[in-house]
Structure formats: structure tokens, C-alpha cells
Amino acid sequence: MSNCNDRRFENMLHAYELGMLSESEREEIEIHLLDCDHCYARLMEMKREMALLRNDPDVRLTINDSVGKESSERPLQAETIGRRPFWQRIMPTLVTAAALLVFLIIKPWRLEFHSTEEAIAAENRMAIMYFENLAQRDDPARLGEIAANLLITDLSESNYLTVISGQRLYDILKAMGKEGEKVIDRDIAGEVARQADARWMILGYILQVEPKLVMTTQLVDVATDQVVSSQQIAGEDGEDVFALVDRLTVEIKTDLTLPVDAFREADRFIADVTTHSPEAYRYYLTGLDYLAQNYWAEAKVNFRKAIEEDSTFAMAYYYLTVHEDYSLIAKTVQYMDKTTRREQYYIKILQEELKGNHGQVLVYLHELLRLYPDEKEALFLLADAELVMQNYDMAIRLYRHILELDPLHKMTHNQLAFAYAYKGEFEKALQANDTYISLAPNEANPYDSRGLLLAGEGRLDDAILFFKKALDIKPDFNTSWLELGNIYVFKREFDRARDCYRHLMADPHPYPRTVGRTRMAQIPLYQGKYREALTLLNEAIVTDSIENLPPTWINTTAIKYRLLSAINIEIGDYDAALKNIRKYTDIATTHFPMYRNGYLFENAVTLAQCGQLDEADAVVDTLKNYLYQSGQPQSFYQAATGIVALLKGNVNQAVSSFEKIKPGLSSFQMEYWHASAYIKAGQAKRALNILDKYRDNYSSFRSQNMLIASKYLYLYGVAYQQAGMRDQAIAAFADFLDLWQNADRDLFILKDAQSRLRELQGNH
């Protein structure tokens, strides 16, 4: 935008705003404003502050003390000059201006949120519909979507308005069969607003894009369907959609019957709480679209492009932190002041989650839901937190509450299916997944989830069909390649498993490649070929280092060190085991404090297996204190206590510790040790009861530790033999030895299984 050719007028703007010009000067500058875009734009920048000042009761009191009550109570009205409205003079004398200046300097401005404001906000519930681009019907730049999202974001910052989220409006449209429609008529818009319990509705239109952007809105009373007011904003040279939305926000708030305090609250420019780049915002919205379909790779590409356009885009960093690189939380927090109040809660929640402060995560989630009761994403995070904490009943209640708000929310049906499965209600799990498939029949994830559910029930061939269905829809859907490979390992079709893992290793993104390398090593690990597994894991760690993976991906490097340590123990190399578990712990401590319960547990078990019993006890105590302080279940502590006691030879204490673990809170690895404790205690039938729970459960949890998965088969044979179930014991040992037919020959359990089988067969 060009500067004013006459600086005299530019210097008069503040005096004009304060009403300090003479009548002739005022008329002169108003004529100038009709022709000078630069001065007009500067005056518009002051409009928000004018709205604040003219309604501030303390300002009125200051004016009243200075120039008399009659002057301060004069109605404040707008007058029109040509096509542009301006605020009338509010201070007729220099004395008033001076008094106001002193007042502004000493006034202790504060932003507080009170219950009365909550009540007013609830009353002023507003739905902002999609902006129809009348100038470009196909809306190639997504201006309509961008304008609506920005206006929702801007008005949502007010304590005196409850602005219904765009996601909630979209959910209602879905339920009405209008999903994806960019243009909806007035009747449908009104019905959406009524279903959202809105008092006000805003309809938006883009009238012109070139040479300047022109937008208009209508403020509609939903109950009467009457237009209360309309606003039309014409852009100037250099003004983009962000600037126009800022001006619209002021116009709309002015036309609403809000308390005067509503004009005292902070009202930042929308670009300052999102991005100054329309291109970055478009990439950001595209990334969100892909996330909704669980297409993470495509989503991450768009979030990275958003950051290329605007390196300070906090919410793009936020989603990359969640889905790609935990270290980016530093950038997210650095630019957190460039986000809305609602988004700042999500950032703080993520920050505390990455620190492992689960209690504080719950505090922030409940605070967020107090301010935004219909915030579906917050409800979803809370439900997921309960699911991770294995509070299945609470998680199910929360998921069902989300579905009351949005019966068509796909990912809630997905998570509800897994919650039912973990609780042992498989038919309900399948029903929830059926609904998910019906809602997204052309997406890969519903079929991938069905495969996981079926694998958890031992229906491996059926699971394979669904994983392949997911890959038919999306050939690069890597979670299906991963799970399909795992199933082939369990079916002992190792060449097919390698083919699946090679798909991951050939992916253009580093994360699938490093996962593929880890899984490739688990194939010989499952077969008892420990030295081959060691070689593959060490080579994979070198490749991870060469690729310089960010911290989230280094997590898979940490897993490699944990597997190395476990193999070292099996072959009796305790020094190497301790060295590798320290590397695992160092990485986990530095980058993944949120997994502290897991790595403290692994550390304690490894120390005990290596004979470092005092150190193991110290780690167990640390684990106990951490779980207590973070409000998590004590299952990791109870299991660690049981394992250490078992390795000390305190069998009864070990059994007692395992029996304290609440049903549903144990894991595949914990149950292996629990069954071992019962066998040591001579309680083979109880050991078999535990082993039977996982006989046909080939979930992803089992595939994460193929070493223990293969030893389960050996443990079955020992338990059957102890229970006097000769035929079953023979079958179990024969099955184990078939799996380990090419295992390293010097392994204890291999020799022991061979010896037991010969003994059982010789006694026939």
C-alpha cells in the first residue's frame, strides 16, 4: 500500500480519532479519507481500540470527571461518510484527551474470566457457516473455508461469546447427509444452527476476489430467522483475508448486544494467533483433512509445507510433534503465544504428556472441557487417556458420550471397538468396527483395525484378508504392511513376513524404514536364532545413526537396544546386557519421559536378571513412587516386584505380588513371568490358566516381543508336564522345537525342551 502524499493528513489521524480537530479540519480530513487508501487503512487499524474505549466504564468516568456528566453521557453513534462509517467524536476538548492519556497509562488492564462472563457467553452461542465464494464457485484457493475458520477462531477468543467449532457444525451436516457440501442453502444453515443450539448464525459470502477481496456477512437471529445486521468489508491494497476477518470481527461484536466489558478484552489480530501466510494456512487445513482419514504421511507433508511458508506456525509444529518428532515440542511452545486460548490448552496438554506428567494432563483436559464442554477433541483425548490407563469402563463411557455429540465420528467408533476388545467384549468390538467401516468404506484404516481385532482373537487368516483389503485401498498404508508381516511370522511363513517388512524398509519416509529394520530382526529372534538377530539389530542401529533420525524415530533405536539386552541375557552375556539396557534407558530418559513406567520396569527386570539385585530393588522403588505421584495404576510396580522376588528365589512373595495386579491391567510380558512364578510354586494349573489367555491372542502387543512370544510355547510344555498332562506336553514341546529347528544349538531352553520331550516320549 502506498504512503499518503500529504503527511499533514496522516499526522492528523490521531487527533481526528480523539475528536480534537476543528469543524473545518474535520471536514477537510474526511474528504481526504475518501481518496487516500493509506490513511483509511490506518484509521481502520484504530477502530478496534475505539470500540474498546468508547464502551469502557472507567473511560466514561474519567471523561465525566474532566468535562461533566452531560458530555460523557452523550450517545455514541456512528456516522457515514460516503461508503465508509467512522466513529463520531467522543472527546470535545484537549483537557479530556489529556485526562484519558493519564488514565490509559495508569489503568491496570487485566484479562480475567468470571462466571458471569461464562453465562453471557453461553447465552450468546453462535454458529458461523461456511463462506460461499460467489466470485469463484470452485473456490480454488479455499477462501471460503479459510474465512469461516479464521472468523470462528477470532470470535472464539471472546469471553462473551460461545462460538460453535467448525468441526461440530461439520458433524451436524454429516448427520444430515450433507457431508462435504461447500454450499448449503439458507434453510439447511438454519437447521444446522438450531441443532447446535445457537442463538446467532452468521452467513458469509465472498463477493469479489480480484483486484481486491470483498466479503459480506449476515448476522441472523436463529429463533426468528431474521437478519439482525449485515456487514460488508472491502479490502484495500495489501490487505488479505486475515485483515478482512479482523475487521469483520469488530463489526460483528459491535452489532451484537454484548456488555460493555466485551470491548475491554484483548482482541489480537487473527494473523497473530494463526499465521500471516494464506499459503501456510491452506497447507495446514489440508493436513487436517488427511489426519481425519488417518493418512499420517500425507498430513505430515502438508504440515511441513505450512512451516516452510511460516516458520512460526505453532499449530503446524504441534501436529508434527504429535505425529512425527517429539523434539518439535520446543518449537511449538516457543510460538505458543501465536495461538488461541483453546489451542494453548492443547499445547500445554501435549507438553505435560511428553514430560510424563499424566496428572497435570488430566487437570488441563478438565479445564479445557469446563471452558468448551462440546470440545470433541478434548473428550477424545480424555477417553484415550483412560484407555491407556486401562480404565476401560470409563473410556467406553467417554467414547459413547462423544457419539452422543457426533454419532458419525469415525475414530470414536474405532477406539470404542478396541476398548470393548480389551475389556473382553468381542462382539461389541466387532459391532463398533462394523459402524466404522460403514462410515468410511473407502478408507484403509477401518479394515486395518478389523484385522487387528481378528488377530487378537486368533483368527489369523481372516485378519490377513482385512489387512490386504486395507492395502488394496491404500497400497502405502504402512500399519497394514507391519501387521501383515507380524501375522506371517506367527504363521511361520517367514519369507512372506520378510516381503512385508521390506515394503516398510523401502518407504521414502525414515520412520517406516527403521520399524522395518527392527521387525526384520524379530524373525530370527522368534526362531531362536539369537546371533543372527544380534547382527541384524546392530546393523539396523548403524543405519538409524546414518539416517540421523529425529527423537521420535530414535524411539525405535531404543527398542533395538532393549532387544539386544534381552538377547544378551539369553546367551549369558550380562555385561553386554547391562551396557545395552543403559543405552536404552539413556535414550528413553532424554526423549521419552512419558514412557517412564515402561523403561523403569525394563531396567529393573534386566538388572535382576543380570544379578544386580540391590540396584533392581532401587529402581523398583523409583517406579513405585513415580506411579503413585503420576496417579497411574500400580501394575508395573507389582509386576516388577514379582519378577525381582522370583529371581531372588522368593517364590511365594513373587506369586503374591503378581496376584495383586488388577484384572485387565497386566500385559503379555507380565503374564509370562506370572505363569513362570506359578510353575516355580508348583501350581501348574494356575500357570496354564494364564497361558491360555494368550494362546490365540496374536495382537500387536505379542508381536512387539518375539523373544517371549516363542518362549511361551516352551513354558506351555513345562506347565503341561508339571500338571501331568503328558500328551499336551509332548505336543507343546514338539511345536516349540519345530519353531526352533534352526535355533542356536547352545541355548539352555532348547536343550531343556529336547531333554523333556525325550523323557516324555520314553515314558510312553
What pLDDT digit, counting tens, does each position of 92-114 carry?
A: 333 333 333 333 333 333 333 44
CATH code for the domain of 585: 1.25.40.10
Q: Which residues of the chain have pLDDT under 70?
A: 1-3, 7, 10-11, 14-21, 23, 34, 40-123, 165, 167, 170-171, 178-184, 263, 266, 551-554, 664, 763-764
Question: Is residue 134 situated within a structural domain?
Answer: yes
152 lies in the same domain as 253: yes
**pTM, two decimal places:** 0.71
Q: In terms of domains, do 78 and 142 share one?
A: no
Which residues are CB-contacts of 250 (< 8 A; sequence separation ≥ 6)?
Answer: 47, 48, 51, 267
Three cell numbers written together for 606: 534386566
Instruction: Write down the pLDDT at residue 138.
Output: 83
Which among 186, 285, 270, 189 has a CA at the least distance from the CA of 233? 270
Examine the domain organization and report whether 157 and 227 are in the same domain.
Answer: yes
Instruction: Answer yes or no: is 678 within a domain.
Output: no
For residue 359, being part of any structural domain is answered with no
Which pairs from 440-445 meet CB under 8 Å and 24+ separation?
A: 440/293, 440/410, 442/473, 443/293, 443/294, 443/410, 443/473, 443/474, 444/294, 444/470, 444/471, 444/473, 444/474, 444/477, 444/480, 445/293, 445/294, 445/414, 445/470, 445/477, 445/479
Query: Kind and range of the H or E element at 416?
Result: helix 410-423
Same domain, 268 and 228: yes
Query: CATH number of the domain that 206 lies in?
Result: 3.40.50.10070
CB 651 within 8 A of CB 644: no
Q: For residues 74 and 144, state if they share a domain.
A: no
The last residue of one of the domains, among 203, 238, 273, is 273
Is the domain of 564 the same as that of 526? yes
Look at residue 54 and tell me if it is in a domain. yes
Q: Cell for 130?
A: 461456511
Indicate whether 136 and 228 sit together in one domain: yes
Surface-to-core class of residue 70, CB atoms within 10 Å of its CB (0-12 exposed, 13-18 middle, 19+ buried) = exposed
As for how many domains the chain has, the answer is: 3
Specify the pLDDT at position 73. Answer: 37
Query: What are residue 205's DSSP bridge partners?
Result: 132, 216
Asked whether residue 27 is assigned to any structural domain, the reply reads yes
CB 155 within 8 A of CB 163: yes
pLDDT at residue 180, rounded to an integer: 62
Is the dihedral angle over the CA atoms 643, 644, 647, 648 positive or is it negative?
A: negative
* Structural contact between residues 763 and 729, judged by C-beta atoms closer than 8 angstroms: no
- 166 in the same domain as 96: no
Q: Taking a C-beta distance cutoff of 8 angstroms, is the pair 620, 648 a contact? A: no
Q: Tell which of 565, 591, 617 closes a domain.
A: 591
614 inside domain: no
Are 257 and 130 contained in the same domain?
yes
Residue 372: per-residue pLDDT: 81
Does 160 share its domain with 11? Answer: no
- Give a yes or no: residue 197 inside a domain: yes
Are 238 and 188 in a shared domain?
Answer: yes
Chain Cα centroid distance, residue 717? 44
> 157: domain range?
115-273
What cell numbers appear for 707 in the block? 523373544
- Same domain for 92 and 157, yes or no, is no
- Out of 273, 289, 320, pick the residue that ends a domain: 273
Residue 213 in any domain: the answer is: yes
Closest by Cα among 115, 118, 159 to 266: 159
